[in-house]
Amino acid sequence: MKMIEKLQHKYALSKQGAIDMTRACISVTITNIVLMMPAGILYFLIKDLLEGMFTRDRIGFYAIASISVILLIAATNFIQYNATFLTTYRESGVRRTTIAERLRKLPLSYFGKKNIADLTTNIMGDCAQIETASSHWIPELIGAVISVTIVGISLFFAFDWRMVLASFWVIPVAFIIIITCSGAEKNAIRKNSAVKLTMTDGIQECLESVRDLRANNAEDIYMDELEGKIRNVEKQALLTELKMAVYVNSASIILKIGIGTTAVVGGALFAKGEISILTFFMFLMLVARLYDPMQITLQNFAAIISCGVQCERLDEVLSTPMQTGTEEMNNKGYDIVFDHVGFKYDDATEVLKDVSFTAKQGQVTALIGPSGGGKTTISRLAARFWDVNEGKITLGGEDISKIDPETLLTNYSIVFQDVTLFNNSVKENIRIGKSGATDEEVEEAARLANCEEFVNLLPDKYDTYIGENGSELSGGERQRISIARAFLKDAPIILLDEATASLDAENETAIQEALSRLIKNKTVMIIAHRMRTIANADHIVVLKDGVVAEQGSPEFLNGYDSIYSHMTKQQLKSQNWKM
């Protein structure tokens, strides 16, 4: 079982995948041994001819033996094909699905550490590389090593040991040469992956920011930088291939020397009469049979070493702890309580320190304060996008860290500051808020979010496709579609992160009126910078430098020289400013 577990981690396999790889290695070993049987038949045939023992009875024996070996080769090749290729392709599908499911269950803090292009490479490129290794390289390598070892030991006892040493000494030496390069090769592969990722990021950034580059006449400068990144990939690829070629070719040369040592030692022993011409001939035929496939095996061994980097990257995903919890909630109401919460990203500087407040059901709790104070982090923690480092957060008295994230999120309608829309119709973009919602429900949610005004002007109304990430719509229109999703979901908790930031005053007022109808008997947590957005909030929490600087009702905070009252006065001044 320990071997199975080691294979799982080393090659990012499922348990069944590790078992199948073991079977594949065994089947390759058997196939390799069976493929050597014709040489054995040929040896005994020539021996009989030389000794005058080739009779009619022997003709039948060799005919039956030859047919049997042919059938055995066909059977073992069939078994090997199923054990290597078919099981590998099945495992590859399992691996991709497992990674996707794993990513779905990982905390969002993991994605904060990862580049999207890097994760895409994990799912597509790394999986494809390991698939090739599992189907072509690993079983062939292990099977070759085991079968050559078995044949070598058998020949050692059956024939002259000096001929065995003369023929086989080059194989371990060649493998040692490849093994010594493993560290340098892995390092080169890591550098290669890093420069490829930098290039991919550069291309993606160029495509996403082409409008700004043109507007600022910065295209030539950016393209020069991008060309440098592409050249780095080319340079690193050449260096990686050169390092690998030096070691592999050195090992191949050593193998060729084995033919020479076999001929020299065999010739000397034959001249002394210590071995027969038949034995000499057999070993020459053996090295010709062994060395060419072994050379390919050495190349595969180098490829397996380089594949270790991809395996480590996938194993990192598969080994990262998932967010888990109960799928049944026993909460009493929907009060959200932050109880001495502390949080930091990646064990770095603390973002939140000893944060305590309550967002009560049926009330609007507003989070305000200077940028970087931790407002968005609080909203993410409330929905368990991350888990707290200190203290706890409860929903209706139940610790949310003990609840399965997907179960927990059925209670939340969330409107993010950065809206994500899909290249689909307006109707389907809103329907994401509630799978299976009727057209009437979708249109009612759109009306509440004040979408009707612009939807009715679109060519196909609610069936109009809005482009990638809603590129056919304005920022305010995109934001309203996002708000419509929240209305459609109609969850008991509403999180709004700058939900009205892209709206003009008229639409903001309309949304606030709709929200006032929606929030009845619900828990609402809103993040805003504009004071007019939260003028009617029940409770205000002012965050500064990751701590609760002050909290209370708007009337209470306006009653003294508070941060809230200062922010309100400053915004009134800015509204009266004229150019």
**For the chain, which residues make up each domain, given as ranges?**
2-319, 336-575
Q: List, as one string, the DSSP characters of 147-175.
A: HHHHHHHHHHHHS-HHHHHHHHTHHHHHH
The mean per-residue pLDDT over the stretch 201-221 comes to 75
**SS3 state of residue 218:** coil
Helix (H) / strand (E) containing 398: strand 398-399
Return all residues near 478 (Cβ < 8 A) that are at least 6 apart.
Answer: 419, 421, 469, 470, 502
Band of residue 486 on the pLDDT scale cut at 50, 70, 90: confident
Residue 261 scores a pLDDT above 60: yes
Q: pLDDT at residue 505 above 80? A: no
If one compares 509 and 541, the residue with the highest pLDDT of the two is: 541
Q: Which two three-digit tokens encode residue 484?
A: 């419509």
Q: How confident is the model at residue 508 (pLDDT cuts 50, 70, 90)?
A: low
- Is pTM, for the whole model, over 0.85? no
Cβ–Cβ under 8 Å, residues 350 and 379: no
pLDDT digits (tens, 9 = 90+) for 11-37: 777 788 888 888 888 888 888 888 888
Q: How many CA atoms lie within 13 A of 481 on its CB side?
A: 29
| pLDDT tens sequence across 39-93 | 788 878 887 887 777 777 788 888 888 899 899 999 998 988 888 888 888 887 7
In the predicted structure, residue 573 carries a pLDDT above the cut 70: no
480: pLDDT strictly greater than 90: no
Evaluate if residue 378 carries a pLDDT over 60: yes
Give counts: helices (H), strands (E), the chain. 24, 10
Rounded to whole angstroms, the Cα distance separating 445 from 462 reads: 12
Q: What class, spelled out in words, does domain 2-319 have in CATH?
A: mainly alpha
Which range has the worst mean pLDDT, 220-234, 428-442, 505-519? 505-519
pLDDT-based confidence at 112, cuts 50/70/90?
Answer: low
Long-range pairs of 214-221 with CB within 8 A, sequence gap ≥ 24: none
pLDDT more than 70, % of the chain: 89
In three-state form (DSSP H/G/I as H, E/B as E, the rest C), the secondary structure along 481-505 is HHHHHHHHHCCCEEEEECCCCCCCH
336-575 has the same fold as 2-319 = no
Give the whole-angstrom CA distance, residue 357 versus residue 494: 17
Output the average pLDDT for the chain: 80
* pLDDT score, position 343: 86
What's the rounded Cα separation, in Å, for the pair 101 and 110? 14
pLDDT grade for 504, boundaries at 50, 70 and 90: low
Average pLDDT over residues 275-298: 78
Query: What pLDDT does residue 543 have?
Result: 86
Task: Give the residue with greater pLDDT, 273 vs 182.
Answer: 273
More confident residue, 69 or 561: 69
Q: What percentage of residues in the chain have a pLDDT greater than 90? A: 2
DSSP 244-287: HHHHHHHHHHHHHHHHHHHHHHHHHHHHTTSS-HHHHHHHHHHH
Domain covering 336-575 assigned CATH 3.40.1440.10 in the classification: no
C-alpha span between 262 and 245 (Å, rounded) = 26
Alpha carbon 507 to chain centroid distance?
A: 41
The token pair that represents 346 in the structure block: 């990646």
Residue 482: is its pLDDT beyond 70? yes
